[in-house]
Amino acid sequence: MHLPTLISDLVVIIIAAGLMTLLFKRLKQPVVLGYILAGVLAGPSIQFIPTVSDTVNINTWGEIGVIFLLFNLGLDFSIKKLMKVGGTAIVGAMTVLIGMMTTGYLVGTAIGLDRMNCIFLGAMLSMSSTTIIFKAFDEMGLRNKQFAGVVFGILIVEDIFAVLMLVLLSTLAVSQTFEGQELLLSMTKLALFLVGCFVFGIYFIPSMLKALKKILNDEMLLIISIGFCLGLVYVADWIGFSSALGAFMMGAILAETIEAEHIESLVKPVKDLFAAVFFVSVGMLIDLNILWEYKWHVAILTITVMIGQLFFGSFGVLLSGKPVKTAIQSGFSLTQIGEFAFIIASQGIALKVMESHLYPLIVAVSVVTTFFTPYMIRLAEPAYNGIERALPPSWKQFLDQYTSGSNTIRHQSEWRRYLRSMSRIVGIYLAVTLVLIFAWLQLVAPLIRQFLPGQNGNLLALVLLIALMAPLLRAIMMKKNRSKAFRHLWNDSKYNRGPLVSLIVLRIIVCMGLVAIPTSALLSTKWGIVLVASLSVIAIMIFSKRVKKHSILMERHFVSNLSAREAESERRAPIRRDFANHLLERDLHLTDIEVRPHSPSIGKTLKELNFRQKCNVNIVTIIRGERRINIPGGNEYLYPLDKLIIVGSDDDILHFHDYIAERYHQADQERREEEADEMNIEQFTISEGSRLIGLSIRESGIRDKAQCLVIGIERGKTSIKNPPPSTVFEEGDIVWIVGERRKVIHLSEGKTL
């Protein structure tokens, strides 16, 4: 019996990945590089060892790896993170994306690539590696640095744009056209899909998980989560989008649930397994002969990535108003490409629109830039010092004024706030309504016509659809019409009333159009009748209290599900989020540290430890189980597993972590030295000629001189437990003693007495 080829190929992949993981861990290099090297060794370019030669199998495992990579990325992403990253991350990421895509396109043109290959090359060179940067920051102890937050924000924005880029590049590749109308249509379709998936997912999935919480165990939660992921992967592929988009969206939806962290921990082993499979499959598609043939192209692209990412990253962060030091540190951290470049390259190869030799070139560039990432991060500080010395005083003054001015609070007019709020609500409800109409006409209406043929079936489908649309349409028409901002604008000036009424009329017209779309599609009636029907439906929705009630209940349910995780996090948070953001504006931020079970700080008061004077940090909160001690006093003791919330600057927090690490090191050394003093039980025999013969336990000095305790004596066939001090030793006695390990051993060897 022979194993199927797919399974035997997986065996080769896993074994190669495991061996390279051990090697690269020992070399203290990123494991991703080991996976890629394992793929080279296990791929068809190497013939001396058992390899995978079936390209179809390689692509299959690669696609599975991409699905789980993006699913996990979505779990870590959360749509709210994008909403909270702020202008710095958005400006920085957009500067990098636009700058690097343009640079990549120009470099591709210079080395003789056609237009489509240049577009794919620009997209691949614009994506920094989230995995590599996270790992580098962890290993270098930079996660708590202020610039690290800026880099993470940029990576979040880049990741979401990378997913969107996958879809757009696929559309361009299939259509082979660059017309604005076609691109606009694709983007509209994509936006509807994203909004629809997110809204419907948030509305139903958290409620379902909450209802099943009492019976959910780890196994069920893992299966349900992966089932949701693969389900949306299938839907995305059926609609015509990338399967990776479906995986990412389901991850982003589950990231908003209370169970998000639990799901992430359960999925992590699965993700790690298939991530290894994916990166190994990347290495398998490398042709070493092609790599050597295009070695100068590798050098050019590597220099382009490192210089381009450094320049555009630093410029973007500086443009957003951050200090020069933060901008330079951020730029030096982004000087690599990683997993998304591989995914985009794999898609280009699969669609047969990208030159096959570009794939190994991109992988080689990623390997080289990944290797240099830690060194580039370390160079940021010296580079900043050199630039600061070289800058003219006038430039320094201008940059200081610019960065300080960008952080000032700007006034928002009432009109701006009202329009922004209304546009957000109308946009979301409009997108959801369009998705509902599309799905109903494509999926549900044909099923109804199977059971009720003819015009009656169409009429029933229309009535049911309008009933489902009613709460959404009312929200589009009536939301924010009685808000505080609306009333303020209405009463502030009579000149505001015309525009406000016009906005209401415009929203009603939009709703009429939404009703008209399914009416004309299902009934094939004339537009006059459609108009009358639309007006009638709109009037009913405006004045119906039942529709109003359902609209409010639906919105409350959605907001409750969307805010559940945030509310739970806020409840458990040691300090208010707005206060934490306030600290960031003053070059201060919060971090936490857990008191380990063997910490030398256990049992000591904050006054004794004196962290404020030694490290210039303040302990603002102690979390002890479910108890929270805010602004603890100097007499507060520390206990094992206490979580300390620390506030301070970057340098002070780094000094605090170094100080704690040094204390742990000293305590560990002392603990090792004291191991010899641990209590132990030993036995020895009183042989012929022993000086103990005829002496009592008290006279022997075992207790007084050796600090040991005699707990038993075996004499012939009898045993004396806990013998009294007057017991006299006899020849042949087997004596059991207990005491400090070192002293007991010495006593048993006759070295003490």
Is residue 418 within 8 Å of 486, Cβ to Cβ?
A: yes
Instruction: Give the pLDDT confidence of 348-373 residue by residue, as tens digits.
Output: 777 777 777 787 888 788 878 877 88
Q: Which fold has domain 575-671?
A: Alpha-Beta Plaits (3.30.70)
How do the domains of the chain map onto residue ranges? 61-273+286-375, 420-568, 575-671, 677-747
Burial code (b: 16+ CB inside 10 Å, e: under 16) for 276-312 equals: bbbbbbbbbbbbeebbeebeebbebbbebbbebbbbb
Nearest to 466 by CA among 396, 387, 547: 547
Same CATH topology for 61-273+286-375 and 575-671: the answer is no
Distance, in Å, from the CA atom of 556 to the CA atom of 563, rounded to the nearest integer, reads: 10
User: For 15-38, what is the mean pLDDT?
Assistant: 78
Nearest to 356 by CA among 262, 287, 295: 287
SS3 sequence, 548-565?
HHHHHHHHHHHHHHHHHH
Helix (H) or strand (E) holding 712: strand 709-715
pLDDT at 562: 64
Helix locations, 240-294, DSSP H: 243-254, 260-284, 288-293
Instruction: Give the pLDDT confidence of 149-198 residue by residue, as tens digits.
Output: 788 778 878 877 777 777 777 666 665 555 555 555 666 677 777 777 87
Our CA dihedral for 170, 171, 177, 182, rounded to 10 degrees, sits at -160
Under the phi-then-psi rule, with left for phi > 0, alpha for psi from -120 to 50, and beta for the rest, what region is 50? beta
Q: pLDDT > 90: what percent of the chain? A: 0
Would you give the DSSP letter of residue 27?
T
Instruction: Give the pLDDT confidence of 125-145 residue by residue, as tens digits.
Output: 888 877 777 767 766 767 667
Nearest to 343 by CA among 152, 169, 171: 169
Parallel/antiparallel/unpaired status of strands 734-740 and 718-721? unpaired
Instruction: Give the pLDDT confidence of 583-617 residue by residue, as tens digits.
Output: 444 456 667 777 877 778 888 888 888 888 888 88
Q: Tell me: pLDDT of 579 over 70.
A: no
pLDDT-derived band at 741 (thresholds 50, 70, 90) equals low
Order the strands of the 589-594 sheet from edge to edge.
589-594, 643-648, 618-624, 627-630
Q: pLDDT > 70: what percent of the chain? A: 76
pLDDT-derived band at 550 (thresholds 50, 70, 90) equals low
pLDDT at 276: 80
Distance, in Å, from the CA atom of 58 to the CA atom of 43, rounded to the nearest integer, reads: 9
Is residue 338 within 8 Å of 159, Cβ to Cβ?
A: no
Nearest to 727 by CA among 748, 712, 744: 712
CB within 8 Å of 348: residues ≥ 6 apart: 120, 169, 173, 354, 358
Strand partners, 222: none
Question: Which comes out higher in pLDDT, residue 76 or 578?
Answer: 76
pLDDT at 413: 59
Q: Which CATH superfamily is domain 61-273+286-375 in?
A: Na+/H+ antiporter like domain (1.20.1530.10)
Query: Collapsing DSSP states into helix, strand and coil, what is residue 219?
Result: helix
Q: Tell me the backbone φ, ψ of residue 330, rounded to 5 degrees.
A: -65, -45
Instruction: Give the pLDDT confidence of 645-698 residue by residue, as tens digits.
Output: 887 777 777 777 777 777 777 777 766 665 556 677 778 888 877 778 888 888
Two tokens, residue 638: 């520390």
Parallel/antiparallel/unpaired status of strands 709-715 and 718-721? antiparallel
Nearest to 366 by CA among 36, 735, 25, 722: 36
Distance, in Å, from the CA atom of 225 to the CA atom of 234, rounded to the nearest integer, reads: 14
pLDDT-derived band at 573 (thresholds 50, 70, 90) equals low
| Cα separation values, 233 from 65, 236, 302, 353, 668, Å | 13, 5, 34, 23, 50
Our CA dihedral for 432, 438, 442, 443, rounded to 10 degrees, sits at 10
pLDDT at 411: 38
User: For 71-83, what is the mean pLDDT?
Assistant: 70
Two tokens, residue 653: 């927090």
pLDDT at 408: 41
Q: What is the CATH number of domain 677-747?
A: 3.30.70.1450
